[in-house]
Homo-oligomer: A and B are copies of this chain.
Amino acid sequence: MDFATIVGIICAFALVCSAIMLGGDIGLFLDVPSLMIVLGGTMGATLINYPLPDMLKVFKVVKNAFFHRGVTVQGTIADFVTLAGIARREGILALEPSMAEMKDEFLRKGLQLSVDGLEPSSIRDILGTEIVSIQERHKLGSEIFTTLGTFAPALGMIGTLIGLVQMLKTMDDPSSIGPAMAVALLTTFYGAILANLFCLPVAGKLKTRSNQEVMMKELMTEGIISIAKGDNPRIIEQKLNAYLPLELRESSFK
């Protein structure tokens, strides 16, 4: 799991809890029916919004996004330079032995299509469709968390309205107004916490990860097409380096 997420979650929740404890008992902030309305209602609204299989797939997408392999862009560029060298010297069929060891399915499929002799434009079409459908699936994960983060404050407000109506209808004892209102506000508090310290930041992280992965796949497509066209390894390196900031570029040709 990536470090920033752990630090972020601990930091955010620790601060909120310690701020609460500075001001009094943390038990004041626990109310089971309020939690039920916010958590259950938000889940319910999201279940109406998305098909069940999509909801279940989310856990996998989230796991993939958080436990994220450390493939570096520089390493991938260096691999392409090596592959392009082999393909130029020994012909594209000579890539088949090294393909067996590749971990990335996308890369393997793309090179297989080149070895099979498809035209570069067909390879680009197939890999492009693949990237679009990866993007769609990732977008779904991020969208579901955004939806949770939109319904959570709404359910929080609904809970507060319920509490306010009950309090106002039965306003006999003035001394009970304060505590009743405090409880009514708790659902708004839960909704705001759930949305702003969990759902929305996670949705943001999934989006960032997806953009990184799509960028990587586009770089790979560019590299595969260049190999299929028989480009010079130096040119391929220059093409692929364009995806990196200047200070991170490395060259195999010194």
Query: Could you tell me which A residues sit within 8 Å of B by CB distance?
Result: 2-5, 7-13, 15-16, 18-20, 22-24, 28-29, 33-34, 36-37, 40-41, 43-52, 54-55, 105, 109, 113, 118, 122, 125-127, 129-130, 133-134, 136-137, 147, 151, 154-155, 157-159, 161-171, 175, 178-179, 181-182, 185-186, 188-189, 192-193, 195-198, 200-202, 204-205, 208-209, 211, 215, 222, 235, 238-239, 242-246
- Least CB distance, A41 to chain B, in whole angstroms: 5
Residue of B nearest to A196 (CB): B154
The reply to whether A28 and B165 form a contact with Cβ atoms under 8 Å apart is: yes
**Residue in A43, A45, A211 with the greatest tally of chain B CB atoms within 10 Å:** A45
> Mind listing 20 A-B residue pairs with CB under 8 Å?
A8-B48, A15-B40, A18-B36, A19-B34, A22-B33, A23-B33, A45-B197, A49-B208, A105-B246, A127-B242, A133-B245, A134-B245, A136-B215, A137-B245, A157-B192, A158-B193, A158-B197, A161-B185, A165-B186, A166-B182
Residues of chain B within 8 A of A170, CB atoms compared: 24
Decide if B55 touches A40 in the complex (CB within 8 Å).
no
Q: Once the chains are docked, how many angstroms separate the CA of A185 from the CA of B159?
A: 12
Determine how many copies of this chain the complex contains: 5
CA distance A154 to B11 in the complex (A): 16
Considering the complex, give the chain B residue whose CB is closest to the CB of A51.
B4
A76 to chain B, nearest CB (A): 14
